[in-house]
């Protein structure tokens, strides 16, 4: 090592005053520097650290991972990432939401008149992945306390959980759409709106809690679908112009998210 963390930088890091880039640099340095880790640990409340690590020892007796994670490990997922996902108890909620959403689309659609079936699918399909992303950031998830006691990148945890829940939600809803006779081409038309809402949810999570974000995104999309339905223009979502508009909106949301991540804190209060 040719440099070490000074007292001022360590104080700013422990107080959460660093931006994401500097925070990641400090955490990367701590992984390789035992001297700086010792200085950092001295600043943490020892009683809190003792309680956290006792909980870690109890909870990490190397239990057998669920089969999806074992499969991902064989496909190249790092063991550290697999452990993070395995410890993230709140990821069960997105999985449950995906299944319930697909069930509502399927059963609800068959029980509704043909004119209402399109509205149902257009409402749920783009919204469900965004809601599952918000559900992955429950403040009661114990993984937050574990992450706070380690130099593991909070941004990496946030993006890893996001990729996981989107990978759960998208295939479930897509398969539900392909299996339903009343959907047809709409099984694909919602993908760009879904991407836009998901990126919007991630951006809003840098400001608001998961519950507030979920409500805002849901009300926004409900309003859009309601306006299209009242004007009898639900098919407008399928048009090239509308798809291009969603693509532009997704890029704008991605740019806003990138700005937030480089100038502020990671989603869901991880910083």
In a domain, 1, yes or no: no
pLDDT band per the 50, 70, 90 thresholds, residue 106 = low
In a domain, 25, yes or no: no
pLDDT of 32 > 90? The answer is: no
**For residue 218, what pLDDT is reported?**
93
Report the distance separating Cα 213 and Cα 198, nearest Å: 11
62: left (phi over 0), alpha (psi -120 to 50) or beta: left
In a domain, 43, yes or no: no
In a domain, 53, yes or no: no
Average pLDDT in the 233-245 region? 89
Average pLDDT in the 161-175 region? 77
| Inter-residue contact 155 to 24 (CB < 8 Å) | yes
pTM over 0.85: no
In a domain, 145, yes or no: yes
pLDDT of 264 > 80? The answer is: no
In a domain, 257, yes or no: yes
Domain that holds residue 164: 88-269
In a domain, 70, yes or no: no
CA angle 209, 55, 18 (to 5 degrees): 45
Cα radius of gyration (the chain): 21
List, for residues 199-228, the tens digit of each pLDDT value: 999 888 888 888 889 999 999 999 999 998
In a domain, 80, yes or no: no
pLDDT of 267 > 60? The answer is: no
Please count the structural domains in the chain: 1
152: left (phi over 0), alpha (psi -120 to 50) or beta: beta
Report the distance separating Cα 212 and Cα 110, nearest Å: 32
């Amino acid at each position: 090592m040719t440099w070490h963390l000074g007292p001022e930088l360590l104080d700013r890091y422990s107080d959460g005053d660093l931006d994401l880039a500097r925070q990641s640099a400090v955490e990367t340095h701590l992984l390789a520097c035992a001297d700086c880790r010792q200085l950092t640990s001295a600043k943490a409340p020892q009683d809190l650290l003792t309680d956290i690590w006792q909980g870690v020892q109890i909870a990490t007796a190397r239990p057998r991972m669920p089969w999806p994670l074992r499969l991902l490990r064989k496909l190249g997922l790092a063991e550290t990432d697999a452990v993070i996902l395995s410890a993230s108890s709140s990821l069960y909620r997105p999985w449950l939401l995906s299944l319930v959403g697909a069930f509502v689309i399927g059963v609800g659609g068959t029980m509704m008149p043909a004119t209402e079936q399109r509205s149902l699918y257009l409402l749920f399909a783009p919204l469900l992945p965004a809601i599952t992303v918000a559900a992955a950031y429950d403040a009661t998830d114990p993984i937050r306390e574990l992450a706070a006691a380690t130099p593991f990148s909070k941004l990496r945890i946030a993006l890893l959980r996001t990729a996981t829940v989107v990978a759960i939600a998208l295939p479930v809803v897509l398969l539900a759409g392909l299996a339903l006779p009343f959907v047809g081409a709409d099984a694909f038309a919602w993908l760009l709106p879904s991407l836009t809402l998901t990126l919007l949810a991630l951006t809003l999570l840098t400001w608001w809690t998961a519950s507030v974000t979920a409500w805002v995104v849901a009300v926004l999309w409900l309003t859009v679908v309601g306006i299209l339905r009242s004007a009898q223009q639900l098919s407008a979502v399928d048009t090239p112009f509308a798809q291009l508009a969603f693509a532009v909106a997704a890029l704008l949301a991605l740019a806003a998210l990138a700005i937030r991540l480089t100038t502020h804190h990671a989603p869901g209060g991880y910083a």
